[in-house]
Amino acid sequence: MPKNAVTPTRMVLNQLKTRLKTAARGHKLLKDKRDELMRQFMDVVRRNKVLRTQVEAGLTEAFGAMTVAGAVMRPELLAQALMYPRQSVSLDLNYQNIMSVNVPRYTFTTSEADPTDIYPYGFAQTSGELDRAMQSLSRVFADMLELAQVEKTMQLLAEEIEKTRRRVNALEYVMIPEMEENIKYISMKLSENENATKVRLMKVKDMVLKQAIEQRRASEGRRTENLG
């Protein structure tokens, strides 16, 4: 018995069969989408692991060099050396479509033509460790930006995977079984109605045949009486 009341007619049966075909096709497409999203997600996870290792190593190197520079330079000289940055950065945001998910793509440009021109100070009164810290920060900046991009991509893909998984499960465990159950119920009811109709027709045929036989016998009886 179906959970929801359905009218057991042939028109409803044909509509349900059409909907079932559409649901089955949609289920397959959503499963393919989910699988491809998972593949893309795992690629991004692997890239995230590599970038995080690079960023942590770069920041560790930069902070270590900055700590040494702070130990060998007077605090006021260190603050003065870093007071006016030489480079400024412009960040642009675009989007890339991955399986109907718009993920961010960051690009940056520096104000100076040479992106390695990062030293806002002279070299006379500064430490070489400060130069190394600036170089490390400059190198790790691009990786940090890509890491932010990758982590946002992971978040968006994970959300889309969860939504797609819920849709696949709803089709696979709720909608498709319910439609199949309704189709089975209607088919059974239509078969019962057809059998009942056949039985009635056979009874009517027997009644008509019996009546015809009785009429024929009565006619033959009257004919015999007239001959006698």
User: In angstroms, how far is the first alpha carbon of the chain from the final one?
Assistant: 67
Tokens linked to 19 = 């909907």
- Per-residue pLDDT of 31-78, as tens digits, reads 999 999 999 999 999 999 999 999 999 989 888 888 888 887 778 877
Fold of the CATH domain 10-87+116-181: Helix Hairpins (1.10.287)
Task: Identify the band that residue 26 occupies on the pLDDT scale cut at 50, 70 and 90.
Answer: very high
Look at the block and give the residue holding tokens 């199949």: 180
Q: Which helix (H) or strand (E) holds 106?
A: strand 101-110
pLDDT at 2 over 70: no
Distance CA 102, CA 93 (A): 12
Using alpha carbons, select from 60, 55, 59, 62 the residue that is nearest to residue 148.
55
State the Cα torsion 215-217-218-221 to the nearest 10°.
Answer: 160
Domain positions in the chain are: 10-87+116-181
Q: Tell me if 118 sits within 8 A of 134, measured CB to CB.
A: yes
pLDDT at 221 over 70: no
- The pLDDT of 84-94, averaged and rounded, is 80
Phi-psi region of 4 (alpha: psi -120 to 50; beta: other; left: phi over 0): beta
pLDDT at 130 over 90: no
Distance CA 201, CA 129 (A): 104
Q: Tell me if 62 sits within 8 A of 136, measured CB to CB.
A: yes
- Please tell me whether residue 120 adopts helix, strand or coil conformation: coil
- The pLDDT of 119-147, averaged and rounded, is 80
Cα→Cα distances 105→108, 138, 146, 184, Å: 10, 20, 8, 51
Q: Tell me if 170 sits within 8 A of 43, measured CB to CB.
A: no
- Give the length of the chain: 228
